Structure 1
Amino acid sequence: MAGAEKTEYDFSLFGEMDSYLFREGNHCRLYEKLGAHVAEHGGKRGTYFAVWAPNAEEVSVTGTFNGWNRTANYLSPRKDSSGVWEGFIPGVEKGALYKYSLRTRRGRVIEKGDPFASFWEVSPKTASIVWPHEYEWGDGEWMASRSEKNALGAPMSVYEVHIGSWRRNPVEGFRSLSYRELGHELGDYALSMGFTHVELLPVMEHPFYGSWGYQTLGYFAPSSRYGTPEDFMYMVDVLHQKGIGVILDWVPSHFPADAYGLAKFDGTCLFEHEDPRKGYHPDWGSWIFNYGRNEVRGFLLSSAFFWLDRFHADGLRVDAVASMLYLDYSRKAGEWIPNRFGGRENLEAISFLKKLNEAVYSDFPDVQTIAEESTAWPMVTRPVFVGGLGFGMKWNMGWMHDTLAFMSKDPVYRKYSHDKITFSIMYAFTENFLLPFSHDEVVHGKGSMLGKMPGDAWQKFACLRLLYGYMFAHPGKKLLFMGCEFGQGKEWNHDDSLQWDQLSIPEHRGISLLVAELNRVYRQETALHELDFTPDGFEWCDFSDWEKSVVSFVRKNSSGGMVLAVFNFTPVPRLHYRIPVPCGGYWREIVNSDAGEYGGSGFGNYGGLHSEELRWKQSEHSLCLTLPPLGMLLLKLER
């Protein structure tokens, strides 16, 4: 081992307890121990390297500091059974490029990036970068009070953003904005629109830009395309100081097969399964983590902790949970292996998800984990101790699909699908639901949200305003993908900027103004968010008028406050339309999607009206309303 004397072995950050917890699958902060860490040892400054490669014959570190000589700096295997190789290399400082060189048991030499790297070269380059975090946070006020902002009873209106294409700089080659630019521009915009949180499509380092981050390779590093880790911290910091929470998309369901990444890391299937019937995703051409391997569980748990700890994230939206739960996900008969009981449930993945949520809420009780789970798997958002998966919230995919299917129909035919707009209440309180109109609905030929709406131009805009009004009144937290908030005309393209110029068109500006007003009212009126996850916060007024496609219900708060929501899903104005209400009083009109300022025709109720003591259907009191065409009304009870 020529040159091995340049590596020192009598220094370690990875102690006996770390080794024990790692092998047990209960180490949630491995990023403090494994990877590259600048340190001092024996009066020398350098970098300690540690990597898990139990089946390698030898491991060395190559980099700019040794001329990429794989024989210059060998690591030493620990004498326990952890499979960790480690060593301290003097003189290696922040900014040094490095890779691990591994000799497999078959004698093949392979080069790998660091699974715990905190910074990477900009793709297509593949080296890891020694990069200790050096940042002084200024979001103490937010962090001290965020338990209130992230609570299940708080208003949560999420603006989903793809960093690379939200807004581009036309002066400088149409480049994407940097993290630091985004902190200010995105923060000011989200604030002006009334959103409470932003959710970022995966920022974790990914080799293929066109994967939008969902083919994650660097589970401990924000993408270097937009700046350094400190730049990313700055962006989160600024958003927090502006009062905007930050949710990160996180992908523990699969990883890409790039040669320098996790796939066959030490020459064997270390992070993944050997059998493709368990370890390969046919949909995405990527590998599936081996959730039953303790060290892999620790790797993923540590990644989740890392973003919450080091980057002050307020929540993790866990991608593709359904693909983790089912062994036969997107597989035909014979393409999957049943569990030990003969079933299709992935018992190891279920155990991992429960462990993830228990650990996160134990150490970070003021954040939320959110599952993108597209099936009817029960108790996704119920505590582990009662048999649930332990998530804080779940995307309501059934509501989204039914609602868009209903709204895409010509209004004359909507009465034949009336159940699609009412059925969601049957299960609305079985989980803590978030209502998503996400990036998935405006890509791959699905068209824009505006393009899904039927009819002529006026009807399309009216239907989109009606749709958003229905979303904000319906029980559940809210999520809108960027561009949807002003009715962008074309579907999303990750290589392009949003069509910001459309805000100069009155109809698009009207959509934007309405979304901002819906956000304001949603935050202000506790009846619209406080009891989102309990039937105590909801009461039907009338869901039976399928012939006219009219639906009405009341949202309530814990102190008896009420907001009435009425929807007319046809282009026919309904004059003198009577609706039963739970009690008497003055009902003030607080939102009308048909108002002229939003591009509507101006039908309304002159600011509000008193109920009548006239029994109608199930109630002793009723209102005689003017329902605008393709319009929604919100009326607040003022006794």
Structure 2
Amino acid sequence: MAKRKTTNTDVPAAELAAVTPLPTPESEQAAQRSNETSSGSAPGHYSRFTDLDIYLFREGKHTRLYEKFGSHVVTHNGVSGTYFAVWAPSARYVSVIGDFNGWDRGSTTMNVRWDSSGIWEIFVPGVATGTTYKYFIVHENGRELEKGDPYAHFWEIPPQTATKVWDTYYEWNDQDWMATRHEKNALNAPISIYEVHLSSWKRDPGNPTRELSYGEIGDSLVDYVKEMGFTHVEFMPVMHYPYPPSWGYQVTGYFAPSSRFGAPQDFMQLVERLHQAGIGVILDWVPAHFPGDANGLYEFDGSHLYEHPDPRMGYHPDWKSYIFNYGRPEVRSFLISNALFWFDRCHADGLRVDAVASMLYLDYSRNAGEWVPNVFGGRENLDAISLFKEINEAIYREFPGTQTIAEESTAFPGVSRPVYTGGLGFGMKWMMGWMNDTLRYFEREPINRKYHQSELTFSTVYAFTENFVLPLSHDEVVYGKHALVSKMPGDEWQRFANLRLLFAYMFTHSGTKLLFQGGEFGQTAEWNFDQSLDWHLLDHPPHQGMAACVKALNQLYRTEPAMYERNFSADGFEWIDTSDHENSVLVYARKGEKPEETLIVVLNMTPVPRPEYRIGVPAAGSYGEIFNSDDQSYYGSGLLNPAPIQTEATPLHGKEQSISLTLPPLGATVLKWIE
């Protein structure tokens, strides 16, 4: 099969690690000659910016700034070298320093454009791929700074802080996936997401302190995710981050995959391998804040360039980090371009946007007097709201078949509704209320659950107001919250039975699914970002059973249309009985497009088996049990309903027909009409 280059204006590199000059295609040379006529540059100086680029940048409408800013190996007037461009409007002097000039601050002075855009640029002959560099910036008041390139694609491995001349050329071979991914990412498709932290998913067994490379991770991860039946992987932030305890949420290199695991092309190959296995890739994206590292975005040119200058709007008290100035057009262009970069150059299938609520509200985590109302006196951040709408519109317009997902914990209206209807334009939103209510319920002793049944039934009151993802994420297994299985009450058998029951409830509830690494096999220790998951646990029957159960639930979810066709519609869910508080039993139906595909779900939330338990069903005939969380292969007790169950004309629960079945202890059973 013919390979296809990524959408890219950078040039191909025969050897990515080479430091020799790279050829430039004739088409790019023509574009460069055209760009040289830009009125903002000095005569004869090479520039990638056209007048239109400058206009869009200053209007906050540019969506491809990574093609313009940063470092680009080019040929100019027959000479190979690198073009550098950086935005530093408050600087009185900017130069490129690096290993090519001995880090001399005065030898490679950049030229500021004449159009008052604040852009500095220069073409440096002989500088090639792999060159390490920074920008030396002198502020108007004389303050001196050394900064990494905000648009660089490759940063040095921490604690080193410089950037490298690099491109994003890659010969992609995932055409089959890209041509059909709109079907896999559709809202009426089964989406089961496995959340992964690259540093801690698995480490070198011979040296547990050594992180695996992108390639080594792919050697295990791709087959594992496919075997377990997840449809998508969501990577916690892969953008370059210097501080491991931040888990990736303190980003300094927004246009660069983390170098701690390899080169950008190594990350692209990991994405490609997942696509070739039929697995979608969602990336965690962090536009809410950035750290105050001296080499990063903070006070980039000596002024508050990227962050809001008012600390009441520009400093985040929770994370001790800085908040983008969402009202500044050039910053909006930076963020819009960054969101699109990961779809364009890295073939992402979705972005999960972190900490959306912190962006939507001006008073987020602030006391009275610590925040500034908007122009109407309200608490909503109007600039952030409009930015979300623009970003989502741009993504769905330019990369159809993808998804954006909001981590948003409030009742802000229309988060996952289209912009043209007044929404923010996200495709989906995390259902944080479901997560909180569900975990609180399952942490209770079963004898007390009869008093709290509404904690599970309440979710359907609002379940269809948004396109919800049901998240059991990394946030629920850190900071003393314990691993999922360790949250469960009872002895070992009951803890694992409770967790299998929780997963069965999750997978049969309306909404798409997300499960953090380790939960699928019952990791017992709280997540530690600095060490591997405890894969040795899979040598033991309880954990083997847990993994087998999650695998079966993924199979059930993907193969039964009633589980996903109407995930976001009230037509796809029906409570049959919520009244049996005393026995802590819940009964509901999941419905697809065809009535005969309807599934009946029965949850027994206590460790007491319940033989001859009668429930109402929607149609006469016989029902077969297609899933039972108490199966012995899942480390259950084996209390099943092996034979088809015939309906009887005994009205119950508002139905003309009913059946009698055995409910397993702390178990879920799923039934399907046979004939």
Q: What is the TM-score when the length of structure 1 is the normalising length?
A: 0.98
Partner of 1:53: 88
Q: Does 1:138 align with 2:164?
A: no
8 Å CA contact retained: 2:208, 2:531: no
Partner of 2:418: 383
> How far does residue 81 in structure 1 lie from its aligned partner after superposition?
2.6
Alignment match of 1:295 (pick from 330, 348, 369): 330
Q: Which amino acid is the alignment partner of residue 671 of structure 2? A: L
Partner of 1:600: 636
Please give the root-mean-square deviation of Cα atoms over the aligned residues, in Å: 1.1
SS of the residue 2:624 aligns to: strand
Aligned-partner Cα distance in 1 for 2:85–2:50: 12
Partner of 1:572: 608
Partner of 2:138: 103
Q: Does 1:527 align with 2:562?
A: yes
Rate the CA distance shift 1:8–1:493 in 2: closer, same or farther, 3 A: farther
Partner of 1:278: 313
Partner of 2:33: none
SS of the residue 1:12 aligns to: coil
SS of the residue 2:198 aligns to: coil
8 Å CA contact retained: 1:184, 1:238: no
Aligned-partner Cα distance in 1 for 2:483–2:283: 24
Aligned-partner Cα distance in 1 for 2:660–2:234: 41
Partner of 2:17: none
The answer to which of 607-616 and 569-578 deviates more is 607-616
Partner of 1:86: 121
Aligned ranges 1:511-590 → 2 under 5 Å:
511-560=546-595, 561-590=597-626
Aligned-partner Cα distance in 1 for 2:188–2:465: 16
Aligned-partner Cα distance in 2 for 1:62–1:381: 45
Partner of 1:4: none
> How far does residue 173 in structure 1 lie from its aligned partner after superposition?
5.4
Alignment match of 1:152 (pick from 187, 211, 236): 187
> How far does residue 607 in structure 1 lie from its aligned partner after superposition?
3.9
Aligned-partner Cα distance in 2 for 1:123–1:8: 40
SS of the residue 1:176 aligns to: coil
Q: Which amino acid is the alignment partner of residue 402 of structure 1? A: D
8 Å CA contact retained: 1:253, 1:319: yes
Partner of 1:623: 659
8 Å CA contact retained: 2:208, 2:532: no
Q: Does 1:397 align with 2:432?
A: yes
Partner of 2:98: 63
8 Å CA contact retained: 1:168, 1:497: yes
Q: Which amino acid is the alignment partner of residue 569 of structure 1? A: M
SS of the residue 1:413 aligns to: helix
8 Å CA contact retained: 2:153, 2:256: yes
SS of the residue 2:200 aligns to: coil
Aligned ranges 1:18-417 → 2 under 5 Å:
18-172=53-207, 174-417=209-452
Partner of 1:634: 670
SS of the residue 2:199 aligns to: coil
Task: Give deviations 1:555-601, integer Å, cap 9, x for gaps.
Answer: 11112211111100011111111111111222111110001111111
Task: Give deviations 1:108-133, integer Å, cap 9, x for gaps.
Answer: 11111100010000011000000012
Aligned-partner Cα distance in 1 for 2:334–2:323: 14
Aligned-partner Cα distance in 2 for 1:607–1:494: 46
Q: Which amino acid is the alignment partner of residue 473 of structure 1? A: T
> How far does residue 516 in structure 1 lie from its aligned partner after superposition?
0.2
The answer to which of 381-390 and 164-173 deviates more is 164-173
> How far does residue 540 in structure 1 lie from its aligned partner after superposition?
1.2
Q: Does 1:610 align with 2:623?
A: no
> How far does residue 77 in structure 1 lie from its aligned partner after superposition?
1.1
8 Å CA contact retained: 1:184, 1:235: no
8 Å CA contact retained: 1:179, 1:231: yes
The answer to which of 148-157 and 598-607 deviates more is 598-607
> How far does residue 69 in structure 1 lie from its aligned partner after superposition?
0.6
Q: What is the TM-score when the length of structure 2 is the normalising length?
A: 0.93
Aligned-partner Cα distance in 2 for 1:65–1:93: 9
Rate the CA distance shift 1:510–1:567 in 2: closer, same or farther, 3 A: same
Q: Does 1:481 align with 2:481?
A: no
Task: Give deviations 1:476-507, integer Å, cap 9, x for gaps.
Answer: 00000000000001010011110100001101
SS of the residue 1:377 aligns to: coil
Aligned-partner Cα distance in 2 for 1:478–1:213: 22
Instruction: List runs of 5+ in structure 1 lacking aligned partners.
Output: 1-6
Partner of 2:538: 503
Partner of 1:464: 499
Task: Give deviations 1:421-457, integer Å, cap 9, x for gaps.
Answer: 1100111110000000000000011100001101111
Aligned-partner Cα distance in 2 for 1:76–1:9: 12
Q: Which amino acid is the alignment partner of residue 653 of structure 2? A: K
Number of matched residues? 633
Partner of 1:11: 46
Rate the CA distance shift 1:300–1:207 in 2: closer, same or farther, 3 A: same
Q: Which amino acid is the alignment partner of residue 321 of structure 2? A: S
> How far does residue 8 in structure 1 lie from its aligned partner after superposition?
9.9
> How far does residue 233 in structure 1 lie from its aligned partner after superposition?
0.5
Aligned-partner Cα distance in 2 for 1:438–1:608: 37
Aligned-partner Cα distance in 2 for 1:244–1:217: 28
Aligned-partner Cα distance in 2 for 1:435–1:550: 21
> How far does residue 83 in structure 1 lie from its aligned partner after superposition?
1.3
Rate the CA distance shift 1:553–1:10 in 2: closer, same or farther, 3 A: same
Rate the CA distance shift 1:176–1:607 in 2: closer, same or farther, 3 A: farther
